[in-house]
Chain A
């Protein structure tokens, strides 16, 4: 059995590790520090942590103010509030000024589970994606969360890092993390599965199952949505017969849109996308919801068979 980790735990621990070497790291939260795990940092560096209460707009614009003074500011809350509630502050105060504010949003996607639709951000990537300058990383597991947070700290400019609520299995043999470069986790010649976040594991399960049926599936972990590794998409389009994108997000404005944009303009091939289609989420256990919204390895497998 693979190791199961909360991405959020790794986030909190990585902040501490970074702050030990960088005295300019400041962390802000909006009354969710126990859930986002910025509380781990707050305990170690109380002078560098500020709890803004339930006021995300103020938190985001204040982060921008801190960043104008040379601080590297990590800002956390749930994805629905980070990307939705404070969008204008992120656009005008943070990203427009290309400031060193790193938004690490937790509890993204349908797997928030029982809290239901109001808390399930299915459009956060889209909201961040349309903002110029904003770098976007959707790490697939615990260790990659650490990589993403370090990449954000070490690269100038605004970042949006998307994390989930539940524990996720650690993906083995990913190789060295390179910001902006996708990972080909499994090679294949018939079909390509492009995934990010928790869907990476589902993609790998689907590929193993397809192999047993004689279909060779390539699996790409597209952890960086901006900058996007276009070449890995073009290669997949040229070398396999079709592409399936699966994401725990709306099919509009997320990974499917990224991939479709590259394919449509550079190398049109058959493409299918699995994601949320003009629907809100609802209460339920994460596994039940993934099934309800067609985001399981079986859904990926079925789709792959249909387009090969």
Chain B
């Protein structure tokens, strides 16, 4: 599928809107994970507003494509795209992490559009594999998209799922790796090196697509390539910048799990205008 320059521009504008929501939600909540939410914003904005087959007014529409966020701590991003899509009113976004809110600190099913909880890392690719097997059983053509963090691929469960998804030839399954190179304790290459990433996935039987995770054109063509790859699952290895879009958050490990202060929020929102 070809996208016009206008469509690309619109997605870029949309991504800015999503980033503003993320910053404001987390600042108001006083806690949360801005860094990884901002690094995967372009990937997920493109998915929700140009790729995913879904009906926000009917969250459980049986033929919907499935999206699951395995790196659950980046749920402000998920909530923002859901609200922007119309799953629930945008005003709800500012209730993030409050008692009784539909927006929990990590995803759970009380949020319209969230298929299943996450938060304990490493399980989401398996969940996506289960969904993709259900589509196979029912002979349905909907696809499954799972967002993975780079740090979480240190979990053994991820590699169990990687092995099985290739074994079962799940070509309706697409993983997106938000490879921002940081985890809580520092750079991934210092804490627990992930490299060589692409050849690891290839050796497990996956089709790999390496892109700049902030380039809309590359993102969209990666989704198209994944959809047209048959006989094996695909993973989009997206090189990203932690905290992308807010200069003082970019590549700053501290913002993995720290909320911006009020002043920082004001500065950030100005940058994202």
Contacts and interface: CB of A to CB of B under 8 A. Distances in A.
Interface of A: 26, 47-48, 50, 52-53, 55, 57-71, 73, 88-89, 91-93, 96-97, 99
B129 A65 contact: yes
Chain A contact surface mostly: helix
A61 B168 contact: no
Size bin of chain B's contact surface: 20 to 34
27 contacts: A26-B133, A52-B164, A53-B167, A55-B164, A57-B156, A58-B129, A58-B161, A61-B127, A61-B157, A62-B127, A62-B130, A62-B133, A65-B126, A65-B130, A69-B130, A70-B62, A71-B134, A71-B137, A89-B123, A92-B120, A92-B123, A96-B117, A97-B108, A97-B109, A97-B116, A97-B117, A99-B116
Given A53-B163, A57-B123, A69-B135, 6 more contacts: A55-B160, A61-B130, A61-B161, A70-B62, A70-B134, A96-B117
Contacts of B156: 57
A48 B137 contact: yes
B157 A68 contact: no
Given A65-B128, A96-B108, A50 B117 contact: no
A66 B133 contact: yes
B115 interface: yes
B102 interface: no
A57 B160 contact: yes
Nearest to A50: B133
A5 B128 CA distance: 38
Contacts, number: 105
B119 interface: yes
Contacts of B128: 65
B131 interface: yes
B120 A69 contact: no
Given A64-B130, A70-B134, A97-B109, A58 B116 contact: no
Nearest to B136: A47
B163 A67 contact: no
B257 to A, nearest CB: 19
B131 A68 contact: yes
Contact of A58 (B119, B126, B134): B126
Contacts of B124: 61
A64 B137 contact: no
Contacts of B163: 53, 55
Contacts of B66: 68-69
A58 B160 contact: yes
Nearest to A63: B130
A62 B137 contact: no
A55 B123 CA distance: 12
B137 A47 contact: yes
Most chain B beta carbons < 10 A, residue from A50, A60, A70, A91: A50
Interface of B: 62, 66, 68, 108-109, 115-120, 122-124, 126-135, 137-138, 156-157, 160-161, 163-164, 167-168
Given A89-B126, A89-B157, A93-B126, A62 B164 contact: yes
List the 9 closest A-B pairs by CB distance, nearest first. A65-B130, A61-B126, A69-B134, A58-B160, A62-B130, A55-B160, A65-B127, A66-B130, A61-B123
Contacts of B109: 97
Contact of B123 (A66, A68, A93): A93
A91 B120 CA distance: 10
Contacts of A91: 120
A61 B125 CA distance: 8
Given A52-B164, A53-B163, A93-B127, A68 B115 contact: yes
Nearest to A52: B164
B140 to A, nearest CB: 9
Contact of B116 (A59, A71, A88, A93): A93
B164 A58 contact: yes
A66 B136 CA distance: 11
Most chain B beta carbons < 10 A, residue from A26, A65, A73, A89: A65
A149 B11 CA distance: 50
Most chain A beta carbons < 10 A, residue from B108, B133, B138: B133
Contacts of B161: 58, 61-62
A70 B130 CA distance: 11
B206 to A, nearest CB: 15
B108 A69 contact: no
Contacts of A58: 126, 129, 157, 160-161, 164
A47 B168 CA distance: 12
A92 B122 CA distance: 11
A285 to B, nearest CB: 35
Contacts of A64: 116, 126-127, 130
A67 B161 CA distance: 17
B64 to A, nearest CB: 10
Contacts of B117: 92-93, 96-97
Contacts of B160: 52, 55, 57-58
Contacts of A63: 130
Given A50-B168, A97-B116, A69 B157 contact: no
A65 B116 contact: yes
A66 B119 contact: no
A64 to B, nearest CB: 6
Given A62-B164, A64-B116, A97-B116, A57 B126 contact: yes
Contacts of A57: 122-123, 126, 156-157, 160
